[in-house]
Amino acid sequence: MDKIHFPGLNGLRFIAALSVIIGHVELIKSDYGIYNFEKSIPFFSNTSGHLGVILFFVLSGFLITYLLLAEKGKYKKISIKKFYIRRILRIWPLYFLILLVIFLLFSLLSKGANSYAFFNSKNIILSIILYVFFLPNLASQFGMWIPLGSHLWSIGVEEQFYLIWPVMVNYVRKRILLVLVLIFVGVSLFPHLIDFVTNHISFNPGIFLFLKQLSKFFIIAKFNSMAMGGIMAWLYYSKKKSILKILQHHVVEAGVFILAFLLWILGYMPKYFGDEMYTILFSIIILNMATSPRTLISLENRLFDYLGKISYGLYVYHWISIVIILLIIRNVIPTLEIAQNALQYNLIIYPTAIVLTIGLSALSYEFYEKWFLKLKKRYSKISSG
Q: What's the whole-model pTM score?
A: 0.93
Rounded to whole angstroms, how far apart are CA atoms 228 and 59? 10
Q: Which residues of the chain register pLDDT less than 70?
A: 1, 105-122, 333-342, 385
State the angle between helix axes of 48-75 and 9-31 in degrees (0 to 180), rounded to the nearest 10: 150
* pLDDT at res. 186: 96
The pLDDT score that the predictor gives to residue 383 is 75
Cα–Cα distance, 51 to 127 (Å, whole number): 26
**Helices (H), ranges, 238-291:** 241-247, 250-266, 274-291
Measuring CA to CA, which residue among 238, 227, 176, 237 is closest to residue 382?
237
Is 159:165 a contact under the CB 8 Å cutoff? no
What distances in angstroms separate CA 108 from CA 102, 116, 146, 262, 320, one per listed residue? Answer: 9, 10, 13, 40, 12
* Sign of the CA dihedral with 242 first, then 245, 248, and 253 last: negative
The Cα 77–Cα 278 span in angstroms is 33
Using DSSP's 3-state secondary structure scheme, residue 3 falls into: strand
Which pLDDT score, from 0 to 100, does residue 143 have?
A: 83
Of 334, 242, 246, residue with least CA distance to 284: 246
Comparing CA positions, the residue from 264, 259, 216, 341 lying closest to residue 41 is 264
CA distance 254 to 264: 15
The predicted pLDDT at position 242 comes to 96
Model pLDDT, residue 114: 46
136-143 long-range Cβ contacts below 8 angstroms, 24+ apart: 137/217, 137/220, 137/221, 138/217, 140/220, 141/213, 141/216, 141/217, 141/220
Q: What is the pLDDT of residues 174-220, one digit of tens each?
A: 899 999 999 999 999 999 999 988 888 888 888 888 989 999 999 99
Polymer length of the chain = 385
Cα-Cα end-to-end distance for the chain: 11
What is the predicted pLDDT for the residue at 32?
Answer: 76
Q: Is 326 exposed, middle or buried (0-12, 13-18, 19+ CB in 10 A)?
A: buried
